Amino acid sequence: MLNFLQTGRQGFARRGQVQLRRSTVETPVFMPVGTIGAVKTIEPRDLERLDARIILGNTFHLMLRPGLEVVQHHGDLHQFMGWERSILTDSGGFQVFSLAKIRDIDDRGVEFRSPVDGAKIFLGPEESMHVQRVLDSDIAMAFDDCTPYPVSCQEAEKSMLRSMDWARRSKKAFQGSPSALFGIVQGGVYPQLRERSLAHLLEIGFDGYAIGGLSVGEPKDEMYEMLRFIVPKLPADRPRYLMGVGTPQDLVFGVACGVDMFDCVMPTRNARNGWLFTSAGTVKIRNAKYRTDTRALDENCACPCCARFSRAYLRHLYQINEPLYARLATLHNLEFYLGLMKRIRAAIENDTFHEICAEYEVVV
């Protein structure tokens, strides 16, 4: 199971440890996303070199490909992908949310057409918990109905109440598992719904609490206002997880509000698309100004990309669609994100986190 120990604090920002079955995770933490059993373009040894202690797997995609039978032949998802450290699996709720045009949702769950072969599939709380138990992740997520944006308060309330019913069913279906289970606070951009959602989850009781349904199209100032409101209300003795967010500034803002755990596809997806994060700002490597630029991508970075190759070479690899580019760029962006979280952890310990907030123009 999970044990959370808070080891430091500066303002609302928390420094802690999440002790899981397979690893101890230092928080605040960013979790690389390995949607279908792999963090795209890199392997577990790369993640170990980056000192990643926990990554994400995706319940929805893994149940479609390769399917549970293949994973079970290897024992579990860890053995299947050669990753011995911790994994958090999402419930599939957000992916079902994104299939709005090919799904039917009711209080039982969601029926949808597989985007792989068109087969009809049903996914509800019990099915999601079954998949996550087979995958044997260290942290599983309750099945939820992700509230869209924009949406009326009445529609958001209906969606939130459905999520709370599904949370109860998820908890019941997950009983007996040695892994941790997190509940997900929903309610859109309506503070009163978020409070009610949290009250329901506290009544049920979970090992950790996540904030879902943000970064789904709402203006950033609305997302930030909701984080200011709801994060401090989450239990202080449990991990707090902000799902699917976001930019480096978003991470700093979330930590300043009291968030412990983050995930997002941004560092890996942006890397493949030519958008690289550096200590001096973002670099869009496709730009012609880098054609003869012999400098390292980031002189303050020691990743394999920055230690050996020039911006001009990276641009060349990107222009010719060479797979090596995606690997190097991904390694760099993850080094930047995990390095930022390491800096944040040290700053909270040293009472200098306000300096990072000023660097990223974050005010809570």
Q: Where are the domains of the chain?
A: 3-264, 267-364
Q: Active site residue: 136, 144, 263, 298, which one?
A: 263
Between 1 and 339, where is the model more confident?
Answer: 339
248-278 confidence digits (pLDDT tens):
999 999 999 999 999 999 999 999 999 999 9
Examine the pLDDT at 363 and tell me if it is beyond 80. Answer: yes
At 102 the pLDDT is 66
The pLDDT value recorded for residue 100 is 65
**CA max distance for the chain:** 61
What is the structure's pLDDT at 103?
A: 78
pLDDT confidence tier of residue 112, bands split at 50, 70 and 90: confident
Q: How far is the C-alpha of 248 from the C-alpha of 261, rounded, in Å?
A: 13
Is residue 263 annotated as part of the catalytic site, yes or no? yes
Q: Residue 142: which of 198, 183, 175 has the closest Cα?
A: 183
- In single-letter form, the type of residue at position 189 comes to V
Rounded to whole angstroms, what are the CA distances from 276 to 39, 207, 318, 336, 356? 17, 35, 12, 9, 20
Told to judge if 260 belongs to the known catalytic residues of this protein, a careful annotator would answer no
| pLDDT confidence tier of residue 115, bands split at 50, 70 and 90 | confident
Report the alpha-carbon distance of residue 45 to residue 47 in Å, rounded.
Answer: 5
Which pLDDT score, from 0 to 100, does residue 94 have?
Answer: 83
> What would the pLDDT profile of 49-62 be if each residue is shown by its tens digit?
999 999 999 999 99
Given a contact cutoff of 8 angstroms between Cβ atoms, the answer to whether 2 and 208 are in contact is yes
Q: What does the pLDDT read at residue 101?
A: 67
Global model pTM greater than 0.95: yes
pLDDT, tens digit, for every residue of 15-48? 999 999 999 999 999 999 999 999 999 999 999 9
- H or E stretch at 17: strand 13-19
C-alpha closest to that of 66 among 101, 44, 37: 37
Looking at residue 93, its pLDDT comes to: 83
Q: Is the pLDDT of residue 98 over 80?
A: no
- Among 46, 90, 207, 260, which one carries the catalytic annotation? 90
91, pLDDT greater than 80: yes
Neighbours of 332 (CB within 10 A): 25
> Average pLDDT of 302-317?
97
Share of the chain above pLDDT 90, in %: 93
Q: C-alpha angle 168/146/277, rounded to 5°? A: 125
Mean of the per-residue pLDDT values for the chain? Answer: 96
CATH node for 3-264:
3.20.20.105
pLDDT at 64: 95
